[in-house]
Amino acid sequence: MAGIQFHIISAVPELLESPFSHSILKRAQERGLLSISIYDLRKWGVGKHNQIDDYQYGGGAGMVMMAEPLYNCISAITEKGKVDEVIFLTPDGEVFNQKMANTLSLASQVILVCGHYKGIDQRIRDHLITKEISIGSFVMSGGELPAAVIVDSVSRLIPGVLNNESSALSDSFQDDMLAPPVYTRPEVFNGWVVPPILLSGHDAKIEQWRNDQALLQTKERRPDLLED
């Protein structure tokens, strides 16, 4: 059984083929730590043309994703078992952050609804959606790439997905600070040297240096994190 199962509902499922077919996410799926199922919403479309969108009531530019296909698709998933969250990806949702990723990593079943056009019928948001998430204060053509971002961010927190589990714990934002600078070989490159403290072998002093640098980075680049 996978550590977490993502069910992604999309009007354009082809957009999601590449992000989940390589690197860490591919290996996690092969090892049974993660399951990603992608649902083509048009399979639940209305009428002979499998329609999934229609004009807005009240007029206005842009189409709206219809309630019926979304309701039937979500119902088909939830009928198979309990779902922890039904998440709609939308620019006006709560902005995604590391704390949210940590919480979602503890879930077993998560549905991600990818918006398109002008969005989805409000009745679905009112009655079926349990959480609304944005990945930033900007608008994209659809929710597929935001869905990929969330799956990637959450999956790396699942035990066993990363070769070194402590790596995720030292990521930026885990402790409300940015990560410190990192260096690797060679010790000297183009006349630029690695800070001597990192070569000292003194674990306590190295840890203190990293904490100091993380705090400095955060003060300079993201002071809002310290305010929170």
Q: What radius of gyration do the chain's Cα atoms show?
A: 21
Say yes or no: 112 and 190 in one domain. no
Question: What would the pLDDT profile of 129-172 be if each residue is shown by its tens digit?
Answer: 999 999 999 999 999 999 999 999 999 999 999 976 555 555 65
Residue 217 is assigned to a structural domain of this protein: yes
Give start and end residues of each alpha helix (H) in 79-162: 98-104, 122-127, 144-155
pLDDT digits (tens, 9 = 90+) for 59-103: 999 999 999 999 999 999 999 999 999 999 999 999 999 999 999
- The last residue of one of the domains, among 155, 180, 204, is 155
CATH for 203: 1.10.1270.20
150 and 177 assigned to the same domain: no
Which of 98, 120, 155 is the last residue in one of the domains?
A: 155
Q: Number of structural domains, the chain? A: 2
Round to whole Å and give the CA distance between 170 and 180: 9
Tens of pLDDT, residue by residue over 17-66, are 999 999 999 999 999 999 999 999 999 999 999 999 999 999 999 999 99
- Structural domain includes residue 91: yes
Kindly state the DSSP code that residue 181 receives in the 8-state scheme.
P
**Separate counts of helices (H) and strands (E) for the chain:** 8, 9
Same domain, 151 and 186: no
Asked if residue 209 is part of any domain, the answer here is yes
The verdict on 175 and 208 lying in the same domain is yes
Give the C-alpha distances (Å, rounded to integers) separating 98 from 26, 176, 224.
22, 9, 15
Q: Tell me if 161 is assigned to some domain.
A: no
Q: Which residue's structure tokens are 């680049």? A: 221
Whether residue 129 lies inside any domain: the answer is yes
Decide: helix, strand or coil at residue 163. coil
Name the domain boundary from 102, 128, 155: 155
Give the CA dihedral 105, 5, 151, 119, nearest 10 degrees: -110
